[in-house]
Amino acid sequence: MENNLKAGYFPGCSQTGTAREYDLSLRSVAEKLGTELTDVDDWNCCGATSAHVTNHTLANALAMRNIVQAEKQGLTEMVAPCAACYNRLIVSQHETQIHPELKKEIEAILDSKIENPVQVMNIVELFTKIGADKVKQAVVKDLKELNAACYYGCLLLRPSDITHFDDAEQPTSMEELIKLTGAKPVEWNFKVECCGAAHSIARKDIVVDLSKKILDDAVAHGANVMVVACPMCHTNLDMRQKAIKKEYPEHKEIPVLYLTELIGLALGMDEKELGINLHTVKFELKKETA
């Protein structure tokens, strides 16, 4: 295939652990669409949460090391599928661009010049880059049985001055994308509500309440599946449904898919190939009746 996209890939920690299936599905989908992903050599922590609440310089230095690594590999575009990684990387790029002193400090720490030529993309932007036409052409299975509630969470969109991506309050880019697969996006209220994020570990109770609200609203608006683009969101919305069920026995479960998994299904891959079988809330497409 001509005009195939070549892009760097920054997996981040989740992709190798709790969100293995996100990594798996992204790699399979990319291959199917003829996109060549090159892993960033010797990548390290993006600086999310622990680092950036502890030390500003450390957080930026961690993120920028990954950028510099990509730079050295000659990459000009790089996808960071985890919303937190994406956020940390572009925010650090921004910070070093507007604060020359911070840039100098980090260059000294990294012992390397920062040129900032690498354009960091989130997962939605990757598909935009690949092209709607290309995705549409590759679709072999119509997912019309899916009424999907697209959930953006916080880090994909904010701060909008830096991300310059979609509308931070009424985003629509994921909806546009999943329409290509035949799935029907539902109009609902909590696309950008807080899922509780890292509270999942220390204050499960908060996450249970917040996530339940989000899931309930999706169900109330007719969704039979949720689509996310962030491992943290997935953890809170999928894995925590067990805890929700315990707290609220009447809770109606709803499966939560990564955007890449949903697209993978439309491209004809099965649930196992995409790692969907690893989810807490089980999901299977209806079997075709011959």
Partner 1 sequence: MKIGVFICHCGENIGRTVDCPRVSKAAEWFPGVVHSVDYKYMCSDPGQNMIKDAIREKGLDAIVVGSCSPHMHEKTFRKAALDAGINPFLCEMANLREHVSWVHDDIEEATQKAIDLTRMAVEKVKRNQPLATIKVPVTKRTLVIGGGIAGIQAALDVANAGYEVVLVEKEPSIGGHMSQLSETFPTLDCSQCILTPRMVEVYQHPKIKLMTYSEVEKVEGFIGNFHVTIRQKARHIDASKCTGCGLCITKCPIRKKAFNSFEEGMAYRPAVYVPFPQAVPNIPVIDETVCTYYKNGKCGVCVKVCGREAIMFDQQDKLVTEEIGAIIMATGYKLYDISKKPDDSFIKGYGEYGYGKYKDVIDGLQFERIASASGPTSGEFKRPSDGKEPKKVVFIQCVGSRDDSKGFSYCSKICCMYTAKHAMLYKHKVHDGEAYVFYMDIRSGGKMYEEFVRRAIEEDGVKYVRGRVSKVYEQNGKYIVKGEDTIAGMPVEIEADMVVLATAMIAQENASTLAQTVGIPYDKYGFFNEAHPKLRPIESTTGGIFLAGACQSPKDIPESVAMASAAAAKTMVLFGSDMLEREPVVARVNELLCGGCFYCRKVCPYSAIEVREIKDRNGVVIKEVAYVNDGLCQGCGTCTATCPSKSVELMGFTNEQIFAQIAAL
**Shortest separation between residue 46's beta carbon and partner 1, angstroms:** 26
**Shortest separation between residue 170's beta carbon and partner 1, angstroms:** 4
**Shortest separation between residue 189's beta carbon and partner 1, angstroms:** 4
Local structure of 6: helix, strand or coil:
strand
**Shortest separation between residue 200's beta carbon and partner 1, angstroms:** 20
Dihedral sign computed on CA atoms, order 173, 120, 29, 18 = negative
**Shortest separation between residue 286's beta carbon and partner 1, angstroms:** 30
Measured from the CB atom, the residue of 42 and 161 that comes closer to partner 1 is 161
Q: Which residues bind partner 1 (CB under 8 A)?
A: 160, 167-170, 189-190, 217, 220
Measured from the CB atom, the residue of 53 and 220 that comes closer to partner 1 is 220
Measured from the CB atom, the residue of 17 and 248 that comes closer to partner 1 is 248
Measured from the CB atom, the residue of 168 and 239 that comes closer to partner 1 is 168
Measured from the CB atom, the residue of 34 and 159 that comes closer to partner 1 is 159
Q: What Rg do the C-alpha atoms of the chain give, in angstroms?
A: 19
